[in-house]
Amino acid sequence: MLTLSRRPGERLLIGGDIEIFVVSIVGGAVKLAIRAPRHVRVLRDELDRSPSPSERDPADAPSAQGG
């Protein structure tokens, strides 16, 4: 893993076609802008993870009685 320090206005380059810009840093929040080709999937980590069966809420499971 690569760890870098960047300031607002600075950017990172990944390959020849992905740019990550530091837009702002306020308190502990960092705002990033990402420019990537349309075929590159850019997704927040928490949206990419599916809950395992043990993490799912039993209330969301289909009823065994069909109700």
Quick check: helix, strand or coil at residue 15? coil
**Does residue 29 form part of some domain?**
yes
**Does residue 47 form part of some domain?**
no
CA distance 20 to 5: 13
pLDDT in tens, 19-54: 999 999 999 999 999 999 999 999 888 888 766 666
**Does residue 55 form part of some domain?**
no
* 18-23: Cβ within 8 A, 24+ apart: none
**Does residue 54 form part of some domain?**
no
**Does residue 8 form part of some domain?**
yes
Range of the domain at 31: 1-38
**For residues 14 and 37, is the Cβ–Cβ distance under 8 A?**
no
**Does residue 56 form part of some domain?**
no
Q: Kindly state the helix (H) or strand (E) to which residue 46 belongs, with its residue range.
A: helix 45-48
pLDDT in tens, 12-28: 999 999 999 999 999 99
**How many domains are there within the chain?**
1
**Does residue 49 form part of some domain?**
no
